[in-house]
Amino acid sequence: MKRRGFLKKIPIAASAPMVLNGLPIGLLAKGQLQQVAASSGNEKVLVLIQLHGGNDGLNAVIPIDQYAQYFNLRPNIAIPDNGSRGYIPLDSTLDITDQVGLHPDMVGTKSLYDQGKAAIVQGVSYENHNGSHFRSRDIMFMGGNYDDYFGSGWVGRYLDYRFPNYPDAYPSTEMPDPLGLEIGTTVSLAFHRDNGIPVAVAANDPEGFFDLINSTGGLPPDSVIDTHYGQELQWIMDIEANSNQYADRLKEVFDNGRNTPSVTYPETYPLAASRLKNTLAPQLKLIARMLSGGSKTKIFLAKIGGFDTHGGQVESYDPTLGNHAALLYHISAAMEAFQNDLQGLGLEDRVVTTTFSEFGRRAASNASFGTDHGNAAPMFVFGKAVKPGIIGTNPDLLNLDGNNVTMQVDYRQVFTTILSDFMEASDEAMVRTLFDGFLDKKLDLFSKLVTSTRDDFIAKRFKLNSIYPNPVLDRTTFSYYINTPLMVDLELFDTGGRKIRSLVSGQQTIGEHRLTFDLSDLKPGTYIYRIKAGPLDTAKKLIKI
């Protein structure tokens, strides 16, 4: 039987995954996703990160203006508002009702926000949330209401409409890659289409396929062929024998790719004695390498689990440590490395990443140092193309909905905005995706003037003010504002570039700093004062009379 006929008949249960560098990859290869890259006029890439289990948004994004209510609701797990492990103030330039603190282990997220490469969408959910893991995941994957039961997913419907003639026209020389790659052991409902499920490969255990991509010629060693996994891997290779459409191509892309040498992806959570492993980092590292190797894959789905924190969410002796802290570190540190990697590879203009979770947690903690199934929670959107900031406002903790944070944004508003404004989907495509009801409810997540928007964002949060008085007779006042604790160097130079003196050198706190210096000993003339503090690196002129 020819490959195309075989793939039309192959059941999903009989499939097995490809593996790149030890990670199982579900290939949405012969279906609607693949046709995007062949037909698409842009190189935009979407990375979805599923937070499996229901992320506790209140301990990730803490409402500063309601800290007392927050603490009263969850005294045994609340993140402190001071000290070395206090929450990280995100942005003191916002209105007080919008100001939030990040979990102390979300340093990476704070860094990306300060660079203008991150946005937070508050209170994301869907109407009449029922708190079921399975049902909520299905709803978010299928892109429906609480009472819808679609057999297809929002990604599948959109791409199946926009790129018809599945699957006969593909793969092709113009599109040698599988467009959709799900890193894991299953192909999610999001990628199913109305007229059947997408053809994919999957397996329950990735260990038997470890390091396929580095094996000689793409084939397993003899000692592996005799194992269960070796037989399944050989089965894949037999299917691929005529064209090696995916195994050889994925190996080629992987081998041709690289990661930025100066970027180190985090491997473990540094504050746990057990050194909890970061499972997200290698997935993002792989995605960056594949893109650098020439992959035309358009949509990636990565996953990180462990968010169902009914008990032991925090350590009993320290609410800033524990399983949830490690997970938030994993996401933040891995995303910072991924974004730095994309920047080093010259790819960050093309990629947007968003997190999503089936629900948040209850506002009140339980007696087991955990939280139970809740409703709304924040989503994080990362990328150079993102308009930085916070969408929505802090939840009203005095007016909860049955111990639940109330919904502000429908999850489909986020996905509609990304598809329409970043992936450039047409309005008609959104109609067929069943997201047309949200086209007039899109969020302010992207700007056509991305560079100026980001520059303006940073300039309002990190700035060197003009000195006063200037010209200077004897004394003058220097002032600057920083939006995060930073090492600050403020130095004075002559016009020949020689350093005259160091005015400030040390760690500084958030906020505006004003310092008056006696410069009466300087000779009359023109000088330059320069500040270096995180993203702030600028200079101004000083005239001494």
pLDDT at 208: 31
Spatial distance between the Cα atoms of 140 and 358, rounded to a whole number of angstroms:
7
Please give the Cα distance from 517 to 83 (Å, whole number): 31
421 SS3 class: helix
Mapped onto helix, strand or coil, the DSSP state of residue 157 is: helix
Average pLDDT over residues 291-297: 89
* Residue 227 neighbours by CB distance under 10 Å: 12
The architecture that CATH gives domain 462-544 is Sandwich (2.60)
- Which tens digits make up the pLDDT trace of 536-545? 999 999 999 9
20: region left, alpha or beta (phi > 0 left; psi from -120 to 50 alpha): beta
Residue pair 529/500 in contact by the 8 Å Cβ criterion: no
DSSP states of 471-509 as a string? SBSSEEEEEEEESS-EEEEEEEEETTS-EEEEEEEEEE-
Question: Closest Cα to residue 37, out of 143, 161, 172, 158?
Answer: 172
| Average pLDDT value for residue range 240-269 | 78
**pTM of structure:** 0.85
- Mean pLDDT to the nearest integer, 404-423: 96
What is the arithmetic mean of pLDDT over 320-329?
97
The rounded mean pLDDT for the chain is 84
Residue in 158, 203, 127 with CA at minimum distance from that of residue 36: 158
Lowest pLDDT segment from 223-232, 338-347, 449-458, 503-512: 223-232
Query: What are the DSSP calls for 56-111, one per residue?
Result: -HHHHEEEGGGHHHHHHH-TTTPPPSSSTTS-EE--TTS-TTT-EEE-TT-HHHHH
Structure tokens at 448: 């056509």
Please name the residues in contact with 14: beta carbons below 8 A apart, sequence gap of 6 or more. Answer: none
Residue with token string 């037909």 = 39
Q: How many residues does the chain have?
A: 545
Positions of CATH 2.60.40.2550 in the chain = 462-544
pLDDT at 200 over 70: no
Q: Please give the C-alpha separations between residue 325 and each of 269, 271, 504, in angstroms, as whole numbers.
A: 9, 9, 34
Number of C-beta neighbours around residue 121 at 10 A = 24
Cα Rg for the chain, rounded, in angstroms? Answer: 26
- CA triplet 481, 487, 488: central angle to 5 degrees? 50
- Tell me the C-alpha distance between 545 and 543, whole Å: 7
Q: In what order do the strands lie in the sheet with 525-533?
A: 499-508, 486-494, 525-533, 536-544
- Condensed to tens digits (0 to 9), the pLDDT of residues 57-106 reads 999 999 999 999 999 999 999 999 999 999 999 999 999 999 999 999 99
Count CB-CB contacts under 10 A for residue 248: 15
Residue whose token pair is 């130079």: 493
Per-residue model confidence (pLDDT) at position 148: 94
Helix, strand, coil shares of the chain as percentages rounded to 5? 30, 25, 45
Concatenate the DSSP letters of all residues of 363-414 into one string.
SS--TTS---B-S-EEEEEESTTB--EEES----TTS-SSSSPPP-EEHHHH
pLDDT at 119: 98
**DSSP designation for 246:** T
Residues linked to residue 536 through DSSP beta bridges, in sequence order: 533
**Residue 434 pLDDT exceeds 70:** yes
pLDDT value, residue 193: 72
CA 353/CA 355 separation, integer angstroms: 7
In the three-class reduction of DSSP (H, G, I as helix; E, B as strand; rest coil), residue 130 is classed as coil
**pLDDT band with cut points at 50, 70 and 90 for residue 230:** low
Reply yes or no on whether the pLDDT at 5 is more than 60.
no
Q: What is the structure's pLDDT at 190?
A: 82
Cα separation, 107 vs 124, in Å, equals: 23
